[in-house]
Structure 1
Amino acid sequence: MSATRQAARQAARLRGRRRSAGALVGAYLGLVLAILAVLVVSAATGPADVGAVDAVRIIVGHLIPDAPWMSDGSISLLQDQSVWQFRLPRTLLAGLAGAGLALAGALMQAAVRNPLAEPYVLGVSAGAGVGAVAVITLGSAAVGGLPLSGAAFLGALGATAAVYLLARQDGVLAPTRMILAGVALGSLLSAVTSYLTLTTEAQNVFSVLFFLLGSVSAATMDQLAVPAAALAAVTLYALANARALNALLVGDESATALGVNVNRLRGRLVIAASLLTGAVVAVSGGIGFVGLVIPHTARILVGADHRRMLPVAILGGALFLMAADVLARTVAEPTEIPIGIVTAVVGAPFFLWLIRQGRAARAGMLR
């Protein structure tokens, strides 16, 4: 009887694992299909009249050489330029930015073992803001001739280096010191940004506010390379170290007992998350809320195991910000609002609703 019961239990566990794997694959597939659907909707949304079918034809036509429908007169030059040169780049940049911020938030929360941590807490966004606002208000000569995106990235790197050095104590990277140093440095850098904004000419204020609140409206295909490369590199690193990230969740002593060099891993996670955030903020501005909400939502949906959670967070972040960009363009049409406003207004109530469902505690988000 005992052997029969044990076999039945093993069979039940195997069926449970198969159902779990099937649900996970379904979640991945659902997110990918939703991303493709939002991509098509975004490409078909705008002042120029372009249908969803024509938007798909234009995108495919640029990917396939000598596509016949691109030269038979069924698609006008205005439609082609609207989709390929304006709508598609901003949608892809929104997807890359959302995926990058969500991944950075997940890594930061694992590094400091704090569910409220995100890259903006460490002052990375504030550093990028100082660099960008300096270019807008003082001109590129003030930062050695760098363009706005280059100055923003340089500011993010400087903030990352400062927090990293301030958080080290006796050669150890302390999570609490890291958060405190980030909050203090972020406040200081935000004060610098506010001073530059208040002392600049009136016509520059709108550009400053649009950058600080986030926007992908000026995206071009050339701007996609840096955030895409940063996202790919950090994703590969995070997935390769997913087991070590899981070990960090149970505490430093337990992780060390499992063979994880906690201090070195934590330092690399902070650097990777900060550089990824800098690459995103440099081209999309200070889009908040994504790095905090999306990783938590992914944990509620698939659990805290980083091998499952990270891909869901990446895809979910891309979907969330792509949809937010469509809303930013249409909710107050013909006026476009900063995408950071949409992420807060839409994301906060949804996140609070998830918490109210009681699944947050079961996912390990709330104790």
Structure 2
Amino acid sequence: MHPAQARPTRSLPQRAFLIVGALLLAAVASLLVAGMTGSIAIAPGELPAALVQVLHGRSDSMAATLLELRAGRALTAFVTGGALALAGVMMQALLRNPLADPYILGISAGASVGALLALLLMCAAATVDAAALAGAVGVAMLLYLFARRDMRGGAALDSGTSMLLLTGVILSSSCMALVTLMLSIAPEGRLRSMVFWMIGDLAGAPVRALPWIVLAGALLYALRSARAMNVVALHADNAGTLGIRVGALRKGLFFVSGLLTASAVTSAGSIGFIGLIIPHACRFAFGPDHRVLIPAAVLGGGSFLVLCDTLARTVVAPTQLPVGAITALIGAPVFLYQLHQLRK
């Protein structure tokens, strides 16, 4: 017997446990690195005591104070990156297009219109977040209204997704025209904050429970739909005859990915490339099975954005860069490398 034939293969639960376990350790490590790194670094020997103080709600030392300040931003970065990566996986499954990302349907552009309008009117931070959420939800409702017939199970899968994609592109172009108009008339004093929001920035982003609730609910739905997503990916034309409720799956993927995108954009602005490169990287490394791909993308996307945000606030400290610029600078060459490897 050939040695390769004698080697036992791991079952799916064992393989998923190993992959998710390793990525979970990497996520914890990224959070610790973010907490220790800054213009004033925390020595590794001071970290355990500072961590205990933070967990008990105390800040008796400088290290504990710094760790508490950085932990909130790192957790916001993690939930935002995880939401964008999961939205990317679901959007690629919905549109059956590997180039799809969370922003392709214009939901992010709608959030930009709402947020920049609030910034132009010098509204409070809470009002800016509410306006961004309202803009994202408004575009999502318009998109569903225009494409609802093509998302039903009776329509051909390719025809339905093409109509949804075209409608999203048109709405996105219209929203970006409004964004350009607002940027052109904005006073100099407000232009910087508007541009930073457009690029994506985590400075001052509050720690809130709602994004975590949205991510947890979306992850649960995605895992329950993973088998159906696998069937649609492999047998798109015959998915209905194989017992898949294609119409319900389309609507679920659309609404949940839109909710994830709205939650992420409201928290941190338009941060690009995470929803595109992280699903590709996880698919390239761990395979296309959505039962493994979904949790891997959430953990990988969260860890990636935490590390990018750490770079954004330390590379030219004390000046802080917008994290969206860092993700774009890293994401573009990584995506080109992935395309090259897939072609080989």
- Normalised to the residue count of structure 2, the TM-score between the two structures is 0.91
260-269 or 50-59: bigger deviation: 50-59
- State the secondary structure of the residue aligned to 2:97: coil
- CA distance, structure 2, for counterparts of residue 53 and residue 314 of structure 1: 30
Is residue 2:105 matched to residue 1:113? no
SS for the counterpart of 1:253 is coil
Give 1:148's aligned residue.
128
Q: Is the 8 A contact 2:81 2:304 kept in 1?
A: yes
| Alignment check: 8 A CA contact 2:109 2:175 kept | yes
TM, length-normalised to structure 1: 0.85
Q: CA RMSD, aligned part only?
A: 2.5
Partner of 2:27: 35
Q: In the TM superposition, what whole-angstrom CA distance separates every residue of 1:331-351 from its partner, at most 9, and x where no partner exists?
A: 222221111111111122122
Q: Which residue of 1 aligns with 2:224?
A: 240
DSSP-derived class of the 1:15 partner: coil
CA distance in 2, matches of 1:16, 1:36: 29
Tell me, in whole angstroms, the C-alpha distance in 2 between the residues paired with 1:271 and 1:99. 17
2:145 equivalent to 1:165 = yes
Task: Tell me, yes or no, if structure 1 residue 208 matches structure 2 residue 188.
Answer: no
Unaligned ranges ≥5, structure 2: none
CA distance in 2, matches of 1:302, 1:322: 22
Q: Give the residue type in structure 2 aligned to 1:33.
A: L
Question: How far did 1:48 drift?
Answer: 3.4
Partner of residue 96, structure 1? 79
Cα drift, residue 135 of structure 1: 0.8
In 2, Cα distance between equivalents of 1:247 and 1:267: 16
Once residues 26 and 174 of structure 2 are traced to their aligned partners in structure 1, the CA distance between those partners, rounded to angstroms, is 40
Measured in 2, the distance between the counterparts of 1:305 and 1:171 equals 24
Aligned to 2:18: 26
2: distance between equivalents of 1:34 and 1:352?
Answer: 24
Q: For 2:95 and 2:175, how far apart are their aligned partners in 1?
A: 22
Output the CA distance in 1 between the equivalents of 2:151 and 2:20: 40
| Aligned equivalent of 1:17, options 10, 19, 23 | 10
Report the alpha carbon displacement of residue 14 of structure 1 after superposing the two structures with TM: 8.7
Cα deviation 1:177-231 (Å, max 9, x = unaligned): 111111111111011111111112111111011111111111233x3x1111110
2:43 corresponds to: 51
Q: Give the paired residue count.
A: 338
Tell me the SS of whatever aligns to 1:46: coil
Aligned partner of 2:335 among 344, 351, 360: 351
Residue 243 (structure 2) aligns with = 259
Report the counterpart of residue 197 of structure 1 in structure 2: 183
1:280 maps to: 264
Percent identity between the two aligned chains: 37
Local SS of the residue matching 1:254: coil
Give the number of the structure with larger relative contact order, counting CA–CA contacts within 8 Å between residues 6 or more apart.
Answer: 2
Match of 1:57, SS? helix
Q: Which residue number in structure 2 is paired with residue 365 of structure 1? A: none
Give distance in 2, aligned partners of 1:21 and 1:170.
Answer: 36
Counterpart Cα distance in 1 of 2:225 and 2:15:
23
